[in-house]
Structure 1
């Protein structure tokens, strides 16, 4: 796969992944649900203001998002930056009933922070599904070939 193919595959498949592990420099990873928006070139998160992620985003820290999406056949380590956004239209766009469960007053809760994660680079593994992976592993066991179950590479956004 070319870099452009991997980047396109990432954006196509990340929408089928619900949660990853997000961490800013100097903090431990936290499970976070994302809202992927290819047109924005961003992953969006919602968090209370007084969390590590909320404070790190307010400080504009560098961050890492790790994705293990078996059903989506996507595995990625994505480096980028965090920021707080105050765009009410964006909040309205991404808000879901799942988000409402975390905030007493819903999206009008004063503690809601809309966090933008802007990817800068990533290492991506995008396999072609379990049947293809199984075939590649079986083929490599019977030949001198190395298994190639899909795309892998480092990209820049």
Structure 2
């Protein structure tokens, strides 16, 4: 059986982008996936600190000398995945990443709780931002939560209705 051309299914939809932004800002931790020097995928948790502007960009604080920055400089294509099992919300954003050392932007996005990772605050010598410019996004959202989803799964066994039809699933172009 042939697979559909995935690139044709992503649409530009301002309402879906708005929903994506609202969903993402309620999930603080995302998994940032990069490509290591040997070609393997590496993921690590990163905090958005609720800063999901979603004009298509995500911002993460980092140390400029970190290994992930080396990986991004070699291969800037990344994925950022959000997951909230409590609300059954899942998001995948594919795009390109770059290191940003803009003092004004660092101060704009700074939050006091970041001192746990950056003890000198915005004066930390190696502090930087990772900017991920989203190209494509996909989300899955079950509006009823985990209990209702479990009931829906059981119901799907008796009705023949696919579980994927019990919530929203959108593929969005961000460019």
Q: Name the TM-score, length of structure 2 as normaliser.
A: 0.76
Distance 1:123 1:68 in 2: 12
RMSD: 2.3
By how many angstroms is 1:109 displaced?
0.7
Partner SS state of residue 28, structure 1? strand
Corresponding pairs, count: 155
Aligned twin of 1:151: 168
Aligned equivalent of 2:60, options 38, 45, 59 = 45
Q: Which blocks of at least 5 consecutive residues in structure 2 are unaligned?
A: 1-10
Distance 2:102 2:117 in 1: 19
Q: Which blocks of at least 5 consecutive residues in structure 1 are unaligned?
A: none
Partner SS state of residue 104, structure 2? helix
By how many angstroms is 1:3 displaced?
5.8
Aligned twin of 2:138: 123
- Of residues 70-79 and 100-109 in structure 1, the stretch that sits farther from structure 2 once superposed is 70-79
Aligned twin of 1:61: 76
Distance 1:63 1:25 in 2: 8
Aligned twin of 2:156: 140
Distance 1:137 1:59 in 2: 43
Distance 1:93 1:129 in 2: 36
Relative distance call for 1:95 and 1:51 in structure 2 (3 A) is same
Relative distance call for 1:139 and 1:72 in structure 2 (3 A) is closer
Partner SS state of residue 161, structure 2? coil
Q: Name the TM-score, length of structure 1 as normaliser.
A: 0.83
